[in-house]
Chain A
Amino acid sequence: MRVTMLRFVRIVLVVGTVGTVALTAQQPPPPLVTAQEILDGLTPDGSRWLTFGGNYSNHRHSPLTEITPANVHQLTPQWTFQTATIGNFETTTLLRDNILYVTGPQNVAWALDARTGRQIWRYRRELPTVGLTACCGLVNRGFGVLGDKLFMTTLDAHLLALDMKTGSIVWDATLEDYKIGYASTIAPLVVKDKVIVGVAGGEFGIRGFIDAYEAQTGKRAWRTFTIPGPGEPGNDTWAGDSWKTGGAGVWVTGAYDPEQNLVFFGTGNPGPDYHSESRKGDNLYSASVIALDGDTGRLRWHYQFTPHDVHDWDSTEVPILADITVAGQMRKVLMFANRNGFYYTLDRTNGKVIAAKPFVTTTWAKEIGRDGRPIMLPGHTPDENGELTCPDITGGTNFWPPAFDPATSTFFVNAREVCATFYAWKPEFTPGERFTGGAAQRAQGPDSPVYGALRAIDPATAERKWEFRYISPSTAGLLTTASGLIFSGDGEGNLLALDSRSGKLLWHYQMGATMHGTSPITYMLDGRQHVLVPAGTTLTAWALPR
């Protein structure tokens, strides 16, 4: 058939219009994630998990109640997803509109159908073959999300925005030069219209910072260094030029208090990690929690857990916020189980200590004094001959997320009972090279038992409510539910469900890998509660039988 140009154009226009109308009619509303949804946290309908800790307070406490202490033993796997990638998960997954958004090792990421575990898209960042300086694994701890964009930090110290529907890059912002020791593994914290991230590199002589980027454009809105520069308050807590290479990275997601418009982040170890003489002074704001204005990044207050840390005790644990009753008074608190072995309840309006006690065996400090500073015990400054100190380098706990049950006002943490001999010597600084000035060796033997425990702590008193012991230390994150469950993992690869009120073990399943740094999430899907567990190279979804 011969078709004239005019007629062809008419046909195309008609078809095009019809097509547009038909597509428009079929198109569901776009899955835009709003700032309000993130602010709302975990809702009773169980339809979403939109930020690292479930809500801005990092409770990891779900209102869902279908899975209970009575029926948890019936949990049945629904599907398993394998990464087919070298390296392990350290992530918290996000969920929106029945789709899971997952970051994995080596900056690979996926969107998965939550019903089946089937991949919708996969993103893989081309990483430099040489020069990456991530100290402790090519890992990533999860996405942030806003609008139709996902946000992911990278091992070569960038922040990416990906299209939620396709996984393609929308913008790519450089945080710093990976060749001189910077990396980023943190799950971004999205606050209002900004994406807040930090950098790792405390073992490479970086100067740490927290950045905020405009979610829409990737333009940097503010940067706050975790080590003050010359002339700024706190710079004099670093001898000489040691502030320039003082570390204090930020590699674990903070919390946000909308009422005060404050973000709270834990900061990493000072560098060099072990050599005291290289950086005399308190070394602010390393090994601290800092409260920053969410709009400007301006420092509102700080609390330093470990002044002049010499044991690589990053304070990059997850802060948890709540309003709790202490001695009959309602207090706005920030709860923090620290790598240094102490648990702290702070007043989050000013950083003052309300309660602080060791939650594991702690030999370096007697207690936290009335002024908030630890009362040090002698003999715990590493040298060439070594000093035995508890806890060890990995700490009483670490980056794996704790949880909080507001109904019982209980803080839960996977704790480690391990001591180590710490050694130190003067290091030389070369940009991009390790700059630790020491090492540590775990102590093990009849006098130094090594084990782990899930511990429940009363934040009003910092006293322990109960514990469940593991035969070896666990590095698993936690999830609690309103039905009285707590999900954890042990050091041997078992997924565990316990009664969150008593610590009684209810159910277990051998996952084949530990939940190292990962936490389960839970959500409703087609009317059934699911629990999703990252472990090793797998994600497994669990639900009760139909």
Chain B
Amino acid sequence: MSWTGSVLAVATFCTMGSIALAAQDLPGKNPLQGNPDAIKYGMGLFRGRCADCHGMDARGVRGPDITQVWASGRTDDGLFKTIKGGVPGTEMPANPRINDQETWQILAYLRTLAASAPTDPPRGNAENGEKLFRTHCSACHTVNASGGRLGPDLSRIGAARSREAITLRIRRGLETFGPGYEPVTVTPETGQPIRGVKKNEDLFSVQIMDTTERIQGYEKDKMKSVENGTRSVMPAFGPDRLSDGDLDDLVRYLQTLRGFDPAVAR
């Protein structure tokens, strides 16, 4: 199906899916969990239909790392609804052609890849974490429509990443970057270099958001140089910048961020 067709189909099915899902009683727990046949079929379904965005290992490509979803507190029922109904406002489409049994098969397979839920109790103070977020992170990251735009919107980060994954990213920074966040420096023939993140590019032009959040396109042949960065602009926050206690608080706060959609929030 073409891209446009997909969008329209997704839009249509999202509407239909929401109605159908609202009326559906779900069992609470995946009835096929641990079933070897279900896991085998689920692997094929996942790799064929989901892995393009989530990766063959389910650790995320364009879409989030879904080995972390149970560890982040999602439930089987909630994930069932997400697969069937998609996530409105994101690239995750509804999947009306995947039937209930297939959905449980996919989840049975994903369970075999899932990171285990943390055994130690939750720690940290989310209220203080929110303050720390405003100090250290919100210049670049938006949460619930407030904050900076240079980095990704983190309004759903608590549903998409486990505590360990979030911790690792804060401590080490990011060595890679997703589409739209590739660092770039454009140097005009006269004037200062302009640093920012790349929003789009072709042979002849580059579109960037600079560090002042100005979005602007530049014609390459009118620039002295256009240089791609090799490392994300997300800095590492080592213990010298963020104590272990503050890190716990910040991560606790981020874990509360689960988006607006009720199907995702659970």
Tell whether, in the assembled complex, residue A441 and residue B56 are in contact, meaning their CB atoms are under 8 Å apart: yes
Interface residues on A, range: 20 to 34
Give chain B residues whose Cβ lies under 8 Å from the Cβ of A483: none
Min Cβ gap A133→B in Å is: 12
Tell whether, in the assembled complex, residue B204 and residue A508 are in contact, meaning their CB atoms are under 8 Å apart: yes
A138-B2 contact, Cβ under 8 Å, with A386-B56, A439-B56: yes
Pick from A139, A439, A494, A508 the residue with the most CB of B within 10 Å: A439
B186 within 8 A of A: no
B261 within 8 A of A: no
A494-B4 contact, Cβ under 8 Å, with A427-B44, A439-B51, A441-B51: no
Tell whether, in the assembled complex, residue A490 and residue B202 are in contact, meaning their CB atoms are under 8 Å apart: yes
Whose C-beta in chain A lies nearest to the C-beta of B48?
A439
Whose C-beta in chain B lies nearest to the C-beta of A421?
B56
A242 within 8 A of B: no
Tell whether, in the assembled complex, residue A494 and residue B202 are in contact, meaning their CB atoms are under 8 Å apart: yes
Tell whether, in the assembled complex, residue B2 and residue A105 are in contact, meaning their CB atoms are under 8 Å apart: yes
How many chain-B residues does the 8 Å CB contact rule pick out?
A: 21
Scan residues 1-33 of chain B and give those whose CB is less than 8 A from a CB of chain A. Answer: 1-5, 8
Give chain B residues whose Cβ lies under 8 Å from the Cβ of A441: 51-52, 55-56, 61
B43 within 8 A of A: yes
Tell whether, in the assembled complex, residue A425 and residue B40 are in contact, meaning their CB atoms are under 8 Å apart: yes
Give chain A residues whose Cβ lies under 8 Å from the Cβ of B1: 87, 137-138
Q: Mark A338-361, 1 if CB is under 8 A from B, else 0.
A: 000000000000000000000000
Tell whether, in the assembled complex, residue A492 and residue B203 are in contact, meaning their CB atoms are under 8 Å apart: yes
Q: Mark B34-77, 1 if CB is under 8 A from A, else 0.
A: 00000010011001100110011000010000000000000000
B91 within 8 A of A: no
The total of interchain contacts (Cβ-Cβ below 8 angstroms) comes to: 60
Tell whether, in the assembled complex, residue A471 and residue B203 are in contact, meaning their CB atoms are under 8 Å apart: yes
Q: Given the complex of chains A and B, what is the CA–CA distance between A439 and B49 in angstroms?
A: 9
Q: Given the complex of chains A and B, what is the CA–CA distance between A493 and B3 in angstroms?
A: 15
Give chain A residues whose Cβ lies under 8 Å from the Cβ of B8: 86
Give chain A residues whose Cβ lies under 8 Å from the Cβ of B244: none
Min Cβ gap A496→B in Å is: 8
Checking B2, B47, B48, B201 against A87 with a beta-carbon cut-off of 8 angstroms, the contacting residue is B2
Give chain A residues whose Cβ lies under 8 Å from the Cβ of B55: 441
Scan residues 453-489 of chain A and give those whose CB is less than 8 A from a CB of chain B. Answer: 470-471
Give chain B residues whose Cβ lies under 8 Å from the Cβ of A445: 176
Min Cβ gap B117→A in Å is: 26
Pick from A441, A494, A510 the residue with the most CB of B within 10 Å: A441
Give chain B residues whose Cβ lies under 8 Å from the Cβ of A316: none
Checking A87, A386, A425, A434 against B5 with a beta-carbon cut-off of 8 angstroms, the contacting residue is A87
Q: Given the complex of chains A and B, what is the CA–CA distance between A466 and B65 in angstroms?
A: 42
Give chain A residues whose Cβ lies under 8 Å from the Cβ of B40: 425
Give chain B residues whose Cβ lies under 8 Å from the Cβ of A439: 44, 47-48, 51, 56
Q: Given the complex of chains A and B, what is the CA–CA distance between A187 and B184 in angstroms?
A: 44
Q: Given the complex of chains A and B, what is the CA–CA distance between A105 and B1 in angstroms?
A: 10
Tell whether, in the assembled complex, residue A492 and residue B201 are in contact, meaning their CB atoms are under 8 Å apart: yes
Min Cβ gap B159→A in Å is: 24
Q: Mark B190-212, 1 if CB is under 8 A from A, else 0.
A: 00000000000111100000000
Pick from B4, B43, B55, B203 the residue with the most CB of A within 10 Å: B203
Q: Given the complex of chains A and B, what is the CA–CA distance between A439 and B46 in angstroms?
A: 10
Tell whether, in the assembled complex, residue B203 and residue A494 are in contact, meaning their CB atoms are under 8 Å apart: yes
A425-B44 contact, Cβ under 8 Å, with A87-B2, A439-B51: yes
A398 within 8 A of B: no
Tell whether, in the assembled complex, residue B48 and residue A436 are in contact, meaning their CB atoms are under 8 Å apart: yes
A471-B48 contact, Cβ under 8 Å, with A138-B2, A423-B56, A425-B43: no
Pick from A423, A471, A510 the residue with the most CB of B within 10 Å: A423
Q: Given the complex of chains A and B, what is the CA–CA distance between A445 and B1 in angstroms?
A: 28
A86-B203 contact, Cβ under 8 Å, with A386-B56, A421-B56, A441-B52: no
Given contact pairs A88-B4, A441-B55, A445-B176, enumerate 13 new A-B contacts (beta carbons under 8 Å). A87-B1, A87-B2, A87-B5, A105-B5, A137-B1, A423-B47, A439-B51, A441-B56, A441-B61, A471-B201, A494-B203, A508-B204, A537-B4
Q: Across chains A and B, which 4 residue pairs bring their CB atoms closest together, nearest first?
A: A492-B202, A87-B2, A439-B47, A86-B5
22 residue pairs of the A-B complex, CB under 8 angstroms, read A86-B4, A86-B5, A86-B8, A87-B1, A87-B2, A138-B5, A384-B43, A386-B56, A421-B56, A423-B47, A425-B44, A434-B48, A439-B51, A439-B56, A441-B51, A441-B55, A470-B203, A490-B202, A490-B203, A492-B203, A494-B203, A510-B202
